Amino acid sequence: MTKSTYLFFLLLPCFSLAQTFNGTFNLPIPDDGTVGYYELSVSGLPAQTSDSFGVETACINLTHTWNADLVVSLIAPDGTEAELTSDNGGDTDGYLNTCFNAGAAQGIWEVGWPYTGTFKPEGFMSVFQNGLNPNGTWRLKIRDTYPFADAGELFDWSITFGPNPPTPYPFFSSTLPILKITTSGQVIPNELKINANLQIIDSTGAGGPGQTNFVNDTTTGYDGQIAIEQRGNSSGWMPKKSYNFETQQADGSNLNAALLDMPAENDWALLANYSDKTLMRNFLAQTIFEKMGRYGPRMRHCELVVDGEYRGIYVLGERIKRDSQRVDIAKLDPDENMGEDVTGGYIIKIDWQNGANLGGFSSQFFQINNANNPLYYQFHYPKADEITPAQAGYIESYVDSFERAMKAPFFQDPDLGWRRFASEKSFTDFILLYELSNNVDAYWLSTFLHKDKNGKLKAGPPWDFDLAFNNADYSDGSSTSGWRHDWLANNTDLLPFYWQRIWQDTAFAQQAACRWQELREGALHPDSLSAIIAEKEAQLEGPQVENFSLWDIIGVWVWPNVQPLPQSYAEEIERLQGWVAARAAWMDAHLPAGDCSPVVSAVGEAEGGWSEASIAPNPFSSSFRVNGPGRFDLRLTNSLGVVVWQAFDLKNTATIDVETLPPGCYWLTAVSDGRAWSRLVVKQ
């Protein structure tokens, strides 16, 4: 035994009782975008923390006029940091004599204002029991995430050291892949990426059945730098955090990496699925969409360890991004601002509007029952700080044309209606998935649309199914009957109008019914749906025991679980199986297919029509020339569907002189031998 170790054990009995140190008093909480640090001096303690001596409790006493803006953490003298609370309390005013202790009966996220008492912190205070020297300057860190809006003051705070500190959960192995993230003691923040290291232990390739990975095994997957941050809106206050991260070179540049057998890329998500006690709803939705023949982000279950702390089962998934292996649309460079170049690719979304510099455009139309706030589309690709004015103008004009066609009295017309602008088949599959899942966020949150060069607007990819498949006790989210779009239209002002309008198109309703019948006979056969859930249950059966030992929430209500609550993991799966079967059966009864013989619409699904060589120049200033297939009729319509020019029985070529038309987007429709092709043309 060394002299220092001997002295430590000699002195330890002197510190068997808890000792409390008090911090600075009555100081303002910054509201200017900076972080507030409040110091506390600790001295006279043993030179090392351990399993039998360390930080037991931290207390704060403060006021603030919007608690949910605050992120509060504790920092040791060596820089090790643990989060105490974040995003809790909504617009309530402060934490009044609030203490944090890992052994408390309730978490800070489970209670309400005034938070007086002792509660579990959101982070892991066991990180301080790593042999660090507790003597020195400790700091309380408070960040107001919404500056220049709400003020506050820290009255006092304290730390108590004693013989019963929290210790890390004893995690050693799993049949799932293990992801180990090392942050050097930093708390992973929200919206501010930090550098960290990621190691993947996966001896079987995506965690094959029957194999075991040990937390101290040699890395067999990725081993390198990442930049990581927290993600999530409604899930942001939950203690089991979700994350976004990028794989990087040592210099911080992007590094495409193939993680858990998924195609190489650099943007990834780690989904916590805290309120989803099956741990599989996001995976289930994306797997269903893939079986429908569509791209949905690939997902793999794994175990997560951060700075030696076991965090439970996560889903590692692809983030929605333009890529040949993800959203397969053309790359749009800053110099592509005219002609065919500017027509794609784009990814836009309808989602929470967080941040002053969001980037996007407002629609000329409103949600159903909402005459105050127009629809707002966010730029996802290109990003808001990368899209050029010409590109932003093009996609805004295109979406406006789609919406106007959907609003028009002739919206069902195969030539003039909404099908000129949107892919019917992609909208059909997207809607069927959201209706099958009865996702309470469907259509108005995490809703993506994309467009390729010369292509029509397509729906998807789908995203965010934590609150789907019977996991929401509000907005009729537990019901196996009724249409989600109808519920939103009848009970809220959140629904973009076209998700309801499209069902008024009798041809679309027939197409949706026939597509559903086709899927139920194949990819979404009752046995197939059941097998997806059963196979994933078998993979998670062993690992879920550890997850729910750490997160002891089986049989405990977590927002917004449907009651009565299942009392075991097996019961959670049984309920999911039964609900999906009942929901699909209801859709069987309410989507009568009738005659599903092939029907070819005039515009069809050819997304673009004639090639660029057939129409030139485009954009044009006064006229353009068309090379057609033999004899054909032509008509030019504006965004309202009004015919502004037409000619009949043309042969091979035609020059369209429309110098008097105002600048804008127009649709050229050519009809030949009973079939029609439509193409967007732009007058400068």
Q: Give the CATH number for residue 642.
A: 2.60.40.3080
**Residue 272 falls within a domain, yes or no?**
yes
Q: What domain count does the chain have?
A: 4
Q: What is the mean pLDDT of residues 363-375?
A: 86
Shared domain check, 637 and 497:
no
Angle subtended at Cα 97 by Cα 95 and Cα 100, rounded to the nearest 5 degrees: 85
pLDDT range class, residue 14, cuts 50, 70, 90: very low
Report the pLDDT value the prediction gives residue 676, as an integer from 0 to 100.
56
Per-residue pLDDT at 270 exceeds 90: yes
Shared domain check, 424 and 310:
no
Which residue(s) pair with 178 in the sheet?
201, 303
**Residue 126 falls within a domain, yes or no?**
yes
Nearest to 304 by CA among 361, 365, 260: 260
- Determine phi and psi for 19, rounding to 5 degrees: -125, 135
**Residue 549 falls within a domain, yes or no?**
no
How many other C-beta atoms are found inside a 10 Å radius of the C-beta of residue 613? 8
**Residue 586 falls within a domain, yes or no?**
no
Shared domain check, 443 and 487:
yes
362 SS3 class: strand
Shared domain check, 301 and 357:
no
| All residues at 6 or more sequence positions from 427 whose CB lies less than 8 Å from its CB, including other chains | 458, 459, 502, 508
Report the pLDDT value the prediction gives residue 205, as an integer from 0 to 100.
53
How many other C-beta atoms are found inside a 10 Å radius of the C-beta of residue 565? 16
The rounded percent of the chain whose pLDDT value lies above 70 is: 90
Q: pLDDT by residue (tens digit) across 659-673?
A: 888 887 777 777 665
Ranges assigned E (strand) in 307-419: 309-318, 346-350, 360-366, 374-381
Per-residue pLDDT at 608 exceeds 50: no
Shared domain check, 189 and 40:
no
Higher model confidence: residue 564 or residue 371?
A: 564
Q: What is the mean pLDDT of residues 118-144?
A: 93
Tokens in use for 429? 């599959």
How many other C-beta atoms are found inside a 10 Å radius of the C-beta of residue 174? 24
Shared domain check, 148 and 204:
no
Asked which of 162, 181, 202 is the last residue of a domain, the reply is: 162
Report the pLDDT value the prediction gives residue 235, as an integer from 0 to 100.
62
Higher model confidence: residue 7 or residue 294?
A: 294
Whole-prediction pTM: 0.83
The torsion angle over the Cα atoms of residues 283, 286, 291 and 293, rounded to 10 degrees, is -160
d(CA 644, CA 141): 64
Asked which of 474, 507, 540 is the last residue of a domain, the reply is: 507
Shared domain check, 375 and 299:
no
Lowest mean pLDDT among 23-27, 249-253, 285-289, 303-307: 23-27
Nearest to 242 by CA among 315, 143, 151, 175: 315
Shared domain check, 266 and 155:
no
Q: Residue count of the chain, please give it.
A: 684
Characterise 608 by phi-psi region: left (phi > 0), alpha (psi -120 to 50), beta (else): left
CATH of residue 108: 2.60.120.260
User: Whole domain around residue 183: which residue ranges?
Assistant: 173-318
**Residue 606 falls within a domain, yes or no?**
no
Report the pLDDT value the prediction gives residue 262, as an integer from 0 to 100.
95
Shared domain check, 132 and 16:
yes
d(CA 72, CA 64): 12
462 SS3 class: coil
Report the pLDDT value the prediction gives residue 5, as an integer from 0 to 100.
39
d(CA 94, CA 62): 5
Angle subtended at Cα 353 by Cα 349 and Cα 355, rounded to the nearest 5 degrees: 120
Q: pLDDT by residue (tens digit) across 19-55?
A: 999 987 889 999 998 999 999 999 999 999 988 999 9
Report the pLDDT value the prediction gives residue 541, as an integer from 0 to 100.
96
d(CA 437, CA 221): 34
How many other C-beta atoms are found inside a 10 Å radius of the C-beta of residue 521? 9
Q: pLDDT by residue (tens digit) across 632-658?
A: 777 787 755 567 888 877 777 788 888
Asked if 231 and 242 touch (Cβ cutoff 8 Å), the reply is yes
Element spanning 527, H or E: helix 526-540
Tokens in use for 391? 């590109």
Mean pLDDT of the chain: 89
Encode 467-476: b = buried (16+ Cβ within 10 Å), e = exposed. bbbbbbbebb
Asked which of 507, 525, 558 is the last residue of a domain, the reply is: 507
Q: pLDDT by residue (tens digit) across 156-194?
A: 999 999 999 999 999 999 999 999 999 988 889 887 899
Report the pLDDT value the prediction gives residue 626, as an integer from 0 to 100.
83
Q: pLDDT by residue (tens digit) across 304-315?
A: 999 999 999 999
Q: What is the mean pLDDT of residues 437-463?
A: 97
Which residue(s) pair with 448 in the sheet?
349
| DSSP 8-class letter at 249 | -
d(CA 88, CA 111): 9
Report the pLDDT value the prediction gives residue 611, as an integer from 0 to 100.
43
Shared domain check, 271 and 188:
yes
| DSSP 8-class letter at 322 | B
Shared domain check, 178 and 157:
no
Shared domain check, 441 and 314:
no
- Looking at residue 234, its amino acid is S
Q: What is the mean pLDDT of residues 460-479?
A: 97
pLDDT range class, residue 368, cuts 50, 70, 90: confident
**Residue 111 falls within a domain, yes or no?**
yes
Q: pLDDT by residue (tens digit) across 321-351?
A: 999 999 999 999 999 999 999 999 999 999 9
Per-residue pLDDT at 319 exceeds 50: yes
Report the pLDDT value the prediction gives residue 612, as an integer from 0 to 100.
40
**Residue 566 falls within a domain, yes or no?**
no
d(CA 430, CA 270): 23
Per-residue pLDDT at 13 exceeds 50: no
Asked if 344 and 330 touch (Cβ cutoff 8 Å), the reply is yes
Q: Whose structure tokens read 């105002």?
A: 662
**Residue 262 falls within a domain, yes or no?**
yes
Q: pLDDT by residue (tens digit) across 412-422?
A: 998 889 999 99
Q: pLDDT by residue (tens digit) across 550-607?
A: 999 999 999 999 999 999 999 999 999 999 999 999 999 999 877 775 543 333 344 3
